[in-house]
Structure 1
Amino acid sequence: MNDVGEQPYIPRIVDLELDELLSGLPAISLEGPRAVGKTETALRRARTVHRLDDEQQLEITFGNPSRLVEGEPPVLIDEWQRYPASWDLVRRHVDDRTRRSSFLLTGSAAPSERPTHSGAGRIVTLRMHPLSLAERALTAPTVNLAELLSGKRRPLAGASGVTLTDYAAEIARSGFPAIRPFGRTLRTDLLDGYLDRVVDYDLGETGFGIRDRATLRRWLAAYAAATATSTSFAAVRRAAAPGSGELPSPPTATAYQRAIEQLWLIEELPAWLPTRNRLRRLASAPKHHLADPALALRCLGLDETGLLEGRTTDHAIPRDGTLLGAMFESLVALSVRVYAQANRARVAHLRTHSGEHEVDLIVERRDGRVVALEVKLSATVRDRDVQHLRWLGDRLGSDLLDAAVITTGREAYRRRDGIGVIPAALLTA
């Protein structure tokens, strides 16, 4: 058993963005799944703290709501969704320009009781994800997404000692800072307990009553089996009842999806629908991802050994390639989201209606120009692995700023055709 004491703070890529926003804006809402590190990040900046996950503080707040906007700024309201009226209290305080305002709101769920005002223009929302590969400090990253987005296509370099086995271990280890330090057995217990809490407690806080927890568990496992695919939700629903099991009804399955989304545990990767060019016949279905691939793995009852041994699941979800490949793509997608957010860019995927052409990750700047990334569970890259990137380059021309294959290999370099090859652990923001 590992003896894990208090762990040092892990610097986050979002730290710089948060500090920039706090220096110029009166209120920031830091959102993301439970245990992602929001509170610890916010506590490092707050001078007054109201923790609404503490029942006594919550009870006091119901009796005296105005206390939430009092105190030396920045004022942190932790788990604000437990008292949804706090959103409007902050908004009104910000509107009163005679007062000094600096607020941090953190939340692990969208509240069942919506604020009466969106807060648009007053409260800026910032998403916090589990740790990216770069933040896990497996090796020193040498390739910046910012440089790829510049379109300069400079030479790539750097070497990584991270192996396929290491990536499988990282998938299972999770990006939750408080869970990662433990050994495999305790870490598995903690992740299983995380899912138990979601089903038994957190969903109730969102206002969604669970009548059949076993059916929800089956739906979650089916969704996890669909990781990194654009399988229809109807197919996910059917896969939730293997054998002669009872299917969740369509309204129930839809309610499950929305409830898990409220907890920030589903983060669909949208289809890329460009506005700057004339690409046609693109599919619009999103790719499915849980917030952390470790949760998907535990929904399926697997660990890194099962991944490496190629064990399968009982869920009839069509997939190109192995489950390990899907989970590796999900880990890379999580990481690229973190890097893209730091560069004020968005992430999507591309697929034609026929499925003839697919690109795993499209990182789009605000001007509509893009970087295209393919994810390959391989240490080597051959011509067939870049055919979709070449196809996209032929159609986008200068709007394709750069293109690369993200691999499990050791060295970063450019091929003779200019397409980059980047080990996943060497990429950062």
Structure 2
Amino acid sequence: MSKTIVYKFGGASVKDADAMKNLLDILRNRLRKNMVIVVSAMGKTTNSLEEILRLKMEGEDFSSNYTILKEFHLSICHQLFPDSHRVFAVLDNLFTSMSKQLNAELSEDNYDEYYDSIIGFGELFSSTIVMEYLCENDLLVLWQDARELIKTNSDFRFAKIDWAKTRKNCQTKLKAKIENFPVVTQGFIGSDSQSRPTTLGREGSDFTAAILASCLKASSVTIWKDVPGVLNADPKKFSSYFLFEELDYKQAAEMTYYGASVIHPKTIMPLANARIPLFVKSFISPEDPGTKIHSTSSNSSISTYVLKEKQLLISFRVTDFTFIEEEQIHRVYEELKSLKLRVNMLQISAISISIVLDEQPFKLDRLLNRLKNDFEIRYNSNLELLTILHPEKSGMDSVMKDYEVFLEQQTRNTFQVVRRKNMLS
């Protein structure tokens, strides 16, 4: 194990000028050689870029959205830098590059590739500002384009890592740099064999930190969040919650599989394989211990609540009085795979297949068109999927109160319900 450490700062930790000053305070006494700092896009930048893409896809004007996004970043810079600072010229060049890319043709057929060509600009903006701000305050760091390190296949939006090439790049392009200076780089983005931008899945910056840590054989990874560590429930959505002081890799992986937002689902595997501990800490209270995820025999049986919003329930019903067989299941999954739609929940009855997905409107239209001749299809939108790990009976009853229930299922250690708040409650 090397002495290298990896820090990852999410969007909330760089969302405005005050957050940037707080990041500076965190790093002032922690920054050192053999350190990689992975940065997400600032605040809700990725959401703003997705809205621009939606408008572009629907043929609507997105110029005001573009201007607002540019002014958002420039406003932060005006609070952090003198007006003559070079960061303004660098940002202007990045926004000009994004503008040119937005003029390219977009269609349903090339949406995923187009998405990846635009969405990563958020991380390019933020990492540039972070690097320049640290240097402006006498913390000398280098900037590294993650697309030169993280090599992937061409599965746009959900790119799979080419571990051999990525490991080689980290050893030849990154290791020598961090031996002399800390390095700031971007989360979430990579590139394929033709150097086209790719992304690792929404919220994929955690995964980037794990990839780099694995390739550099780092001693630890620390993810800085706006929560005190890994909790058994999202404090923004639940009134009571519990902080885990430590978790085993397997238990953490199970939580992320069902959608726990504190860590990206793919983060755990490379760290567990390399036995690299993961710390989840609060950038609001950086001296607090947070949560340590590592190999431990300690397994908590405390009920854990994972809530996914903006969910879509689709039911495919056979039309010829036969029963559901493997052929029909394969048919549905074949189309889901081609559209890169991930199933969050599945339930099969004698005559129907029901699936729960994240809402993606234009992809829903394509899915329905492709399968309408094979099934009678019904769907409900704007639902919630609540998963309870290690459920207790009292907890299960309370989550059904005041909700309309569309689907539920239970195993020995997991309870899931698809629900919508009653309008009268």
TM-score by length of 2: 0.30
- The structure with higher relative contact order (CA 8 Å, sep 6+) is 1
Which of the pair is proportionally richer in strand?
2
TM-score by length of 1: 0.30
